Structure 1
Amino acid sequence: MMDNMEDEPVNAPGALSKFFRRIGQTYQLLLDRWTPHTIARWVFTVVLLVSFGVRIVLAQGWYIVTYALAIYHLNLLIAFLTPKLDPSLEMGFEDGDEPGLPTRSNEEFRPFIRRLPEFKFWYSVTKATVIAFGCTFFEVFNIPVFWPILVMYFITLFCITMKRQIKHMIRYRYLPFTWGKPKYAGSNGATAM
């Protein structure tokens, strides 16, 4: 009886695990193909958000789901606008010397690196919107609330959070966007990025 058990491999992957592995590989392949197409990805996400908004307006409900999605998107936006190495948390600066990006030619160049990269920002926004869109098809998530209070609270939260983020940008002298920044010509005349 023991001989029969030794003939079967113990860790042989079943058909179900092979199926899910294949689905995961296909999903990752699609994500890898979408990676270089930044504008197309964001257009898709904006269309998805507009569709979600139309669904909420037409269904006249799911305001808690919408509010939770908006708070999550605000959290992602703040992580996207914040540098990976927060200058306010760095130690070892001399008295009165605040950290910031270099303003003189003899200072060290430190490029802006985001806490949340653009692709992960897009991916998280899209995934959360798809999940929230799916939640609108289940009545259990349609909790009755007075939605104008949620809208006013979100606007207040957005303004306070963005004011704090803009003050942080001004204090530590960084701009999280590359468009609009000056481009300098290199020694061979080509524009350096």
Structure 2
Amino acid sequence: MDAVDEPTSPFGTVTAQTNKLGRQYQALLDQSTPHVVYRWIFTGVSLVLFFVRVFVAEGWYIVAYALGIYLLNLFLAFLQPKFDPSNEALDNDMEDGAIGSLPTKQDEEFRPFIRRLPEFKFWHSATRAIIISFFCSWFEVFNVPVFWPVLVMYWIMLFVLTMRKQIQHMIKYRYVPFTIGKARYNKNSN
């Protein structure tokens, strides 16, 4: 007899294949991790292709609106700190110590900015959502008739209001979610 591993049921075969595909997908994601620019270029091209599809087909505005809301939600999570200083400020009012707050004075300890949603998870979720939206735009069941200018205006108002609130939060708690390269110092500075 051969000692071949054969699943005993059809469900075992399906499980084995899905596990194999899952491992291959994870290996592909792991290989793409260091290529930040190329990943975002792929996502941008996918988004443009989706919008061209919606524009040419003149439909699927609800799918595009849902994608826009989802991407806005992801972007806000990307901008926010993992440990919200407003919640910690409330906690610190109840406690005696100032544990977990962002430094506000020069003599306080520096703590780096840690995002609530890391860049890779942001990219992965956004790309997956764009591909799913593109896929949905080929099925008539998702083509709900709506007056699209209302959706566009509502999304713009939502974007402006949420970004205004987020920027006010960033100013109030003095954090910047972006770093532009490594700090460089002059030879003459002490």
What TM-score do you get using the length of structure 2 for normalisation? Answer: 0.85
* Aligned residue number for residue 13 of structure 2: 15
Which stretches in structure 2 are left out of the alignment for 5+ residues? 1-6
After TM superposition, give the deviation of residue 121 of structure 1 in Å: 0.2
Correspondence 1:1-193 to 2 at 5 A: 14-90=12-88, 91-93=91-93, 101-179=102-180, 183=183
2:92 & 2:104 partners in 1: Cα distance?
19
Preserved CA contact (<8 Å) 2:85 2:102: no
After TM superposition, give the deviation of residue 104 of structure 1 in Å: 4.2
Percent identical: 59
Query: What SS is found at the alignment partner of 2:92?
Result: coil
Q: When the two structures are aligned, how many residues end up with a matched partner?
A: 175
1:66 & 1:75 partners in 2: Cα distance?
14
After TM superposition, give the deviation of residue 103 of structure 1 in Å: 4.9
Q: Output the amino acid matched with 2:46.
A: L
Preserved CA contact (<8 Å) 2:80 2:177: yes
- Aligned-CA RMSD value: 2.4
Preserved CA contact (<8 Å) 1:100 1:173: no
Preserved CA contact (<8 Å) 1:74 1:158: yes
Q: Output the amino acid matched with 1:183.
A: A
